[in-house]
C-alpha cells in the first residue's frame, strides 16, 4: 500500500481544531498558515488550504472531475443555505442547464449597451455629493450598484424598495460573518433577522415579476430569458435566481469600488495619474463603454484594488474522490479552500505585495503572470458570470467620480475589512473635493431603461 502523505498545518485545539482562530481573524489566520506551512496546508481533518496557482487552477478548472462546489446537491439533495433553486447553488447537469439559460443575458453587447446607463445613474448620484462633506460612500455606492444591476437584469429600477434588498444583504453578511452559524430554523436573533429580511425580499421579487409580466415587450434580459425557459420555472426558481443575481451582482461591485477609492484617497500620486489619464482621454466629456480600451490606468486602479481587497476573498470546492494535490493525499470529502486574499498578497508572485501600485498591471510582467495568481472572479466553469459587467461598471464609475472629485479620508475614520460573504469595507468615510480640471458637469446622455 503506498504511503499516505498528509500536508502540514497548525495543530489547533483538540476539540475545536482551528475554528476559534479562524473565526477571530480569518484573513490573518489564513495568511499565517500559508506563509508558515506552504502550498498545501491542513487546517483540519477534512479541510485544506491551497496556495499555489497550479493547484488553484487544478481545483477550479476541475479537468479531471474530482472537485465540486456543492457535493451531493442535485442528487436528490438541495443546497442547505438560502435560495436553493438558483444556478449559483446548483450542481452538475442542473447547474449546466441553468447556466446555459442565463448566459446570453451577459453577452458582451448587452454589457456594452448598459454603459450609458451606468454613467447617467452615477452622474445623477454625484450631483448630490457636496464638496467638503464627509460621506458614507458604501451605502451610496451600494444603492447605485443595485440600481444598475436591476436595470441590467430586468430593465426595472429598484428604488423605493431598495431598503429591503439592503436589509437582506446586511442580514446575509451578518449571518456569514458570525463564527457559529446554527441552521436557519434555529430562532437566534441573527437567524430571525435573516428570515424576516429574506421574507420581505421574496415579496419584493414576486411583485417585480408580476409587474414585468404585465408589460410584454421584446426583451433579452435575464428575466425575459428565465420567463421563456423551454422548461417553465416555478415561482420559487424564479425568485431564487433573481435574488442571488441581485445580491451577488451589486454588493461585490460596491465593495470593489469603495476599496478602490479608499486606496486612491491614500495615494495622491496614483490619484493624480488617474486624473491625468481622464483629462487626456475624455477632456471635458463623460466616459462611455467605447472609452474602456483607452482607460488603461483607470482599469489598473480597479484591478489593483481588487488584488489587495478582493471582494471574493475565499472560495472552496470539495473532493468527491480520493486524489493527490501537490504530493499530498486528499481524501474524498475534503474541503479545499483557495483564498484570493492570501494568493493576491504572495510575495512570490507580486513585488511589494502589500503596496498599492496600479502601474504593475501595465507592465509586461502582468502579461506573463500565471492565470491563477490573480483570480478575483474565480476560474474554470464556475467563473463569475457577471465579471464583464462588474469590470465595465467599476471602471466607468471610478472615471465619473475621479473626473469630478479628489477623495480624502475623513479625519478619524477607522476602516476595517469584514470578511463575510464578500469582503466589505466597514467605516470608510470620504470627503469629496472638487478637481481642478474635468470638474465641469458634462452632457448626460440618455438613461437606457430609466
Annotated binding site: 384
Asked whether 212 and 154 are in contact (CB, 8 A), the reply is yes
- Cα–Cα distances (Å) from 283 to 140, 269, 276, 433, 435, in that order, read 26, 20, 10, 19, 13
- Cα–Cα distances (Å) from 105 to 46, 109, 226, 253, 443, in that order, read 38, 9, 10, 18, 29
Read off the DSSP letter of residue 107.
-
Residue 298 lies near ligand HEM (rule: CB under 6 A): no
Residue among 201 and 431 whose Cβ is closer to ligand HEM: 201
Residue among 311 and 419 whose Cβ is closer to ligand HEM: 311
Residues 30-69 binding ligand HEM (CB under 6 A) are 69
Asked whether 257 and 141 are in contact (CB, 8 A), the reply is yes
Residues 131-150 binding ligand HEM (CB under 6 A) are 149
Nearest distance from residue 187's CB to ligand HEM, in Å? 30
Measured distance CA(257)–CA(125) in Å, rounded: 15
Which residue in 9, 358, 376, 417 binds ligand HEM (CB under 6 A)?
Answer: 376
Asked whether 56 and 343 are in contact (CB, 8 A), the reply is yes
Nearest distance from residue 99's CB to ligand HEM, in Å? 5
Residue 242 lies near ligand HEM (rule: CB under 6 A): no
Measured distance CA(14)–CA(202) in Å, rounded: 42
Nearest distance from residue 98's CB to ligand HEM, in Å? 8
Residues 98-137 binding ligand HEM (CB under 6 A) are 99
Residue 313 lies near ligand HEM (rule: CB under 6 A): no
Residues 387-406 binding ligand HEM (CB under 6 A) are 389-390
- Supply 290's cell numbers: 467605447
- Supply 13's cell numbers: 485545539
Residue 425 lies near ligand HEM (rule: CB under 6 A): no
Residue among 238 and 431 whose Cβ is closer to ligand HEM: 238
Nearest distance from residue 443's CB to ligand HEM, in Å? 27
Residue 274 lies near ligand HEM (rule: CB under 6 A): no
The tally of CA atoms less than 13 A away on the side-chain side of residue 440 is 8
Residue 26 lies near ligand HEM (rule: CB under 6 A): no
Measured distance CA(280)–CA(401) in Å, rounded: 16
Nearest distance from residue 448's CB to ligand HEM, in Å? 16
Measured distance CA(186)–CA(18) in Å, rounded: 24
> In sequence order, what are the beta bridge partners of 405?
434
Which residue in 41, 50, 88, 289 binds ligand HEM (CB under 6 A)?
Answer: 88
Residue 253 lies near ligand HEM (rule: CB under 6 A): yes
Name the one range near ligand HEM by CB under 6 A: 26-34, 328-336, 380-388, 395-403.
380-388
Residue 256 lies near ligand HEM (rule: CB under 6 A): yes
Residue 248 lies near ligand HEM (rule: CB under 6 A): yes
Residue 303 lies near ligand HEM (rule: CB under 6 A): no
Residue 267 lies near ligand HEM (rule: CB under 6 A): no
Q: Quote the distance between the C-alpha of residue 124 and its chain's center.
A: 24
Which residue in 242, 263, 286, 312 binds ligand HEM (CB under 6 A)?
Answer: 312
Measured distance CA(148)–CA(140) in Å, rounded: 13
Q: Which residue is nearest to ligand HEM (CB)?
A: 386
Name the one range near ligand HEM by CB under 6 A: 128-136, 190-198, 250-258, 293-301.
250-258
Measured distance CA(153)–CA(245) in Å, rounded: 8
> In sequence order, what are the beta bridge partners of 17?
13
Measured distance CA(173)–CA(168) in Å, rounded: 9
Measured distance CA(448)–CA(450) in Å, rounded: 6
Asked whether 263 and 356 are in contact (CB, 8 A), the reply is yes
From the number of C-beta atoms within 10 Å of its C-beta (0-12, 13-18, 19+), residue 176 rates as: middle
Write out the binding residues for heme. 384
Residue 151 lies near ligand HEM (rule: CB under 6 A): no
Catalog residues that contact ligand HEM under the rule CB under 6 A.
Answer: 69, 87-88, 99, 149, 245, 248-249, 252-253, 256, 311-312, 315, 376-378, 382, 384-386, 389-390
Amino acid at each position: 500500500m503506498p504511503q499516505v502523505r498528509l500536508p502540514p498545518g497548525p495543530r489547533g485545539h483538540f476539540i475545536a481544531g482551528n475554528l476559534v482562530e479562524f473565526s477571530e481573524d480569518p484573513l490573518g489566520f489564513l495568511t499565517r498558515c500559508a506563509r508558515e506551512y506552504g502550498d498545501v496546508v491542513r487546517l483540519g481533518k477534512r479541510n485544506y488550504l491551497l496556495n499555489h496557482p497550479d493547484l488553484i487552477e487544478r481545483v477550479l478548472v476541475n479537468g479531471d472531475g474530482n472537485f465540486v462546489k456543492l457535493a451531493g446537491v442535485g442528487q436528490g439533495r438541495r443546497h442547505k443555505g438560502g435560495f436553493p433553486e438558483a444556478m449559483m447553488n446548483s450542481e452538475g447537469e442542473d447547474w449546466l442547464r441553468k447556466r446555459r439559460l442565463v448566459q446570453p443575458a451577459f453577452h458582451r453587447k448587452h454589457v456594452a449597451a448598459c454603459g450609458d446607463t451606468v454613467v447617467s445613474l452615477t452622474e445623477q448620484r454625484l450631483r448630490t455629493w457636496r464638496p467638503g462633506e464627509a460621506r458614507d460612500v458604501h451605502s451610496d455606492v451600494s444603492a447605485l450598484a443595485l440600481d444598475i444591476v436591476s436595470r441590467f437584469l430586468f430593465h426595472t429600477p429598484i428604488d423605493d424598495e431598495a431598503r429591503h434588498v439592503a436589509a437582506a444583504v446586511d442580514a446575509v453578511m451578518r449571518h456569514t460573518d458570525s463564527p457559529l452559524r446554527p441552521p436557519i430554523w434555529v430562532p437566534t436573533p441573527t437567524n430571525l433577522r435573516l428570515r424576516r429580511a429574506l421574507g420581505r425580499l421574496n415579496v419584493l421579487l414576486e411583485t417585480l415579476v408580476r409587474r414585468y409580466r404585465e408589460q410584454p415587450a421584446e426583451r433579452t434580459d435575464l428575466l425575459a430569458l428565465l420567463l421563456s425557459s423551454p422548461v417553465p420555472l416555478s415561482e420559487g426558481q424564479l425568485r431564487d435566481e433573481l435574488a442571488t443575481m441581485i445580491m451577488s451582482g451589486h454588493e461585490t461591485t460596491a465593495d470593489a469600488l469603495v476599496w478602490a477609492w479608499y486606496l486612491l484617497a491614500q495615494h495622491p500620486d496614483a490619484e493624480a495619474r488617474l486624473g491625468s489619464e481622464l483629462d487626456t482621454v475624455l477632456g471635458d466629456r463623460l466616459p462611455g463603454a467605447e472609452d474602456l480600451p483607452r482607460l488603461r490606468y483607470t482599469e489598473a486602479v480597479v484591478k489593483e484594488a481588487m488584488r489587495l481587497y478582493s471582494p471574493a476573498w475565499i472560495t472552496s470546492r470539495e473532493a468527491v474522490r480520493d486524489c493527490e494535490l501537490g504530493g499530498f493525499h486528499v481524501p474524498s470529502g475534503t474541503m479545499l479552500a483557495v483564498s484570493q486574499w492570501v494568493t493576491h498578497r504572495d510575495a512570490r508572485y507580486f513585488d511589494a505585495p502589500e503596496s498599492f501600485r496600479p502601474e504593475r498591471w501595465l507592465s509586461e510582467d502582468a502579461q506573463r503572470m500565471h492565470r491563477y495568481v490573480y483570480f478575483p472572479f474565480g476560474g474554470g466553469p464556475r467563473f463569475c458570470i457577471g465579471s464583464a459587467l462588474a469590470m465595465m461598471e467599476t471602471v466607468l464609475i471610478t472615471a465619473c467620480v475621479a473626473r469630478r472629485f479628489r477623495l480624502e479620508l475623513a479625519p478619524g475614520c477607522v476602516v476595517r475589512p469584514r470578511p463575510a460573504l464578500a469582503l466589505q469595507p466597514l467605516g470608510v468615510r470620504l470627503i469629496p473635493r472638487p478637481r481642478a480640471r474635468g470638474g465641469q458637469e458634462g452632457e448626460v446622455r440618455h438613461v437606457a431603461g430609466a
